[in-house]
Amino acid sequence: MAIQRFSHIAIRVTDLERSRRFYRDALEFRELTQLEISGGPTALLLDRPDLLLRAIFLERDGTQIELQEIDLPGRVDAVPWTRVGLAHIALRVDDVESTLARVQQAGGGVLEASRFRSEEHASEVVFVTDPDGTYVEIIRAPGDPAIPPGESLQDAPK
């Protein structure tokens, strides 16, 4: 079992387009990919199948960030999982189960309700917490771990 690479830092935002412009134009991040997920790990954790998460991945100096906007009818920011701000860090792994065992041995927790498998993408995602409750996304997916998920924005108009 090995961690393949650090994946990204997720930042939950209230206005995805405004945040995209800020990170791209003011801080000179480069757009990588964008995606929409309905019914993914966040929806499972909140027991809200109607949840839609839109995200944009950006990169600067080798570090990737994921800007996330949640479209959740009746959203309440008092629920920790939907709060605006730092959402989680993410790691790509080659073996989810051995990673989860190590997390638990080190005093972390596994959020089984977040476990999401996609046969279409041959991937698996599960969230864990560190001993202080910080969320960490564990991702097993085929392909180059350096390429974030979603539709490429490299040739998209700005």
pLDDT at 117: 93
Q: How far is it, in rounded angstroms, from Cα 21 to Cα 19? A: 5
Span 132-144, pLDDT tens digits: 777 888 999 988 8
DSSP string, 89-129: EEEEES-HHHHHHHHHHTT-EEEEEEEEEETTTTEEEEEEE
Q: Is the pLDDT of residue 95 over 90?
A: yes
| Structure tokens belonging to residue 54 | 């839109």
What's the mean pLDDT in 128-157? 82
Top CATH class of 3-146 equals alpha beta
What's the mean pLDDT in 22-41? 86
Comparing CA positions, the residue from 138, 18, 120, 118 lying closest to residue 69 is 18
Comparing CA positions, the residue from 58, 15, 54, 56 lying closest to residue 37 is 54
Q: Is the pLDDT of residue 73 over 70?
A: no
User: pLDDT-derived band of residue 156, with 50, 70 and 90 as boundaries?
Assistant: low
Q: Is the pLDDT of residue 130 over 90?
A: no
